[in-house]
A and B are shown apart, each in its own frame.
Chain A
């Protein structure tokens, strides 16, 4: 099993690479959806203790979408956590509908759909480049501070480990849109990634 406590630099790079490929695809989809240029940052990989998790996220309220990832044998592979700061979420939903005000139900379902599209392209990328097939679950949606949204997922992962790998990247566009993407892989996904990228 890949040991989370002391990943080598090479292993960290492997994670970063997957992050780049995944978010690259997600950024392309978002760009097509919004019909705007979308930029993304080089992902940061963090291996942290769960107790320090709250310091890793932005401090403001976000619209959070959580998608569980499974492999073909229905083993849990991890979670994708997509955070839209409230302003960005409103802007995206408004732009897509060409309206300033949306009712709450419309707003929630729009953001979930954007989350869906982003996660699907993320999964596509991992299948194309690494042959790791990830099936995204339907999205779950909440509006709250980032830790409050993610803590139920963390509680699932925490049964096995006190550490968590987080890789984070930000998507942004001209129009003041910011999106933060985090992947929380379970150890089996991590093992697969290391195996496959080790063969390259």
Chain B
């Protein structure tokens, strides 16, 4: 394959590498805060492992391949098996991730509005979570093993003259209530604040990667 997505881990850190034509294109690394080379990574044991895997020079046991990526647009959800999930440009929206690590089945919903929809529209938190949950079970996920992580619900406006734009908090509360009601354990969350987020989910180890849009900080949750 010419565009693999690799997950590499070792004792000190882990990273996702997006590759194209056997070249590393982009990385999300749990060490980026402490790493001296920051985003302009040149060489470290994680990168070397990924490169060795791509060129096939050495088989590395700590490298896992993911089967592609899925991105959920505003108000929709996507599910898959062993794929990288993305929810980009979340402001007041929330990226809700459900996953069953034992089967690798996972899903992400890009929630736009709090509450439930009578018409089954997945832009509403409750409806989206319920539908995604059912679809995952149909696909083979085990109900009792499904866990949740979510992030988003920021209030990006520094100067706010329209009260109705304060929807992030309501979204976050609605998502949390729905998960509690459905007895889905919440393993991690990162909500609120005043900065937008990109949310990525790595099914290989079940970690949610939150990248702030304007600060460049990366969280692994």
Find the A residue at minimum CB distance from B71: A54
The segment out of B31-39, B150-158, B180-188 that lies at the interface is: B150-158
User: Contacts A50-B123, A162-B75: A152 and B161 contacting too (C-beta < 8 A)?
Assistant: no
Does A61 touch B at the CB level, under 8 Å? yes
- Sampled A-B contacts (29; CB under 8 Å): A50-B73, A50-B75, A51-B74, A51-B75, A54-B88, A61-B213, A66-B157, A109-B159, A139-B159, A140-B162, A142-B91, A144-B91, A144-B196, A144-B214, A147-B91, A148-B91, A148-B213, A149-B156, A149-B196, A151-B74, A151-B92, A152-B92, A152-B164, A152-B168, A155-B112, A155-B123, A158-B75, A158-B113, A162-B123
Does B204 touch A at the CB level, under 8 Å? no
Of the four ranges (under 10, 10 to 19, 20 to 34, 35 or more), the interface on chain A belongs to: 35 or more
Residues of the B chain whose Cβ atoms lie less than 8 Å from the Cβ of A177: none
Does B160 touch A at the CB level, under 8 Å? yes
Complex CA distance for A25 and B166, rounded to whole angstroms: 31
Residues of the A chain whose Cβ atoms lie less than 8 Å from the Cβ of B72: 51
Q: How many residue-residue contacts, CB under 8 A, span A and B? A: 116
Residues of the B chain whose Cβ atoms lie less than 8 Å from the Cβ of A159: 113
Complex CA distance for A153 and B163, rounded to whole angstroms: 11
Give the Cβ gap from A106 to chain B, nearest Cβ, in Å: 13
Find the A residue at minimum CB distance from B164: A156
- Would A148 and B165 count as touching, CB distance under 8 A? no
Does B93 touch A at the CB level, under 8 Å? yes
Does B116 touch A at the CB level, under 8 Å? no
- Would A148 and B156 count as touching, CB distance under 8 A? yes
Residues of the B chain whose Cβ atoms lie less than 8 Å from the Cβ of A130: none
Residues of the A chain whose Cβ atoms lie less than 8 Å from the Cβ of B121: 162
Residues of the B chain whose Cβ atoms lie less than 8 Å from the Cβ of A109: 159
Complex CA distance for A80 and B14, rounded to whole angstroms: 43
Does A146 touch B at the CB level, under 8 Å? yes
Complex CA distance for A158 and B195, rounded to whole angstroms: 22
Does B108 touch A at the CB level, under 8 Å? no
User: Contacts A51-B75, A54-B74: A140 and B161 contacting too (C-beta < 8 A)?
Assistant: yes
| B interface, CB within 8 angstroms of A | 72-76, 88-93, 110, 112-113, 121, 123, 154, 156-162, 164-168, 195-197, 213-214
Residues of the A chain whose Cβ atoms lie less than 8 Å from the Cβ of B162: 66, 68, 137, 140
User: Contacts A139-B161, A140-B162: A148 and B73 contacting too (C-beta < 8 A)?
Assistant: no
Complex CA distance for A137 and B163, rounded to whole angstroms: 12
Complex CA distance for A95 and B112, rounded to whole angstroms: 38
Complex CA distance for A158 and B110, rounded to whole angstroms: 13
User: Contacts A50-B123, A142-B156, A162-B121: A153 and B165 contacting too (C-beta < 8 A)?
Assistant: yes
- Would B196 and A148 count as touching, CB distance under 8 A? yes
| A interface, CB within 8 angstroms of B | 49-54, 61, 66, 68, 108-109, 112, 137-156, 158-159, 162
- Would A140 and B160 count as touching, CB distance under 8 A? yes
Complex CA distance for A12 and B97, rounded to whole angstroms: 39
Complex CA distance for A140 and B195, rounded to whole angstroms: 15
Complex CA distance for A61 and B197, rounded to whole angstroms: 12
Find the A residue at minimum CB distance from B171: A155
Complex CA distance for A151 and B156, rounded to whole angstroms: 10
Residues of the B chain whose Cβ atoms lie less than 8 Å from the Cβ of A66: 157, 162, 165
Give the Cβ gap from A159 to chain B, nearest Cβ, in Å: 7
Indicate the member of B76, B160, B195 with the most A CB atoms within 10 Å: B160
Give the Cβ gap from B116 to chain A, nearest Cβ, in Å: 13
Give the Cβ gap from A161 to chain B, nearest Cβ, in Å: 11
- Would B92 and A155 count as touching, CB distance under 8 A? yes
- Would B89 and A108 count as touching, CB distance under 8 A? no
Complex CA distance for A145 and B118, rounded to whole angstroms: 31
Find the A residue at minimum CB distance from B160: A140
Find the A residue at minimum CB distance from B89: A147
- Would A155 and B113 count as touching, CB distance under 8 A? yes
- Would B214 and A54 count as touching, CB distance under 8 A? no
- Would A147 and B88 count as touching, CB distance under 8 A? yes
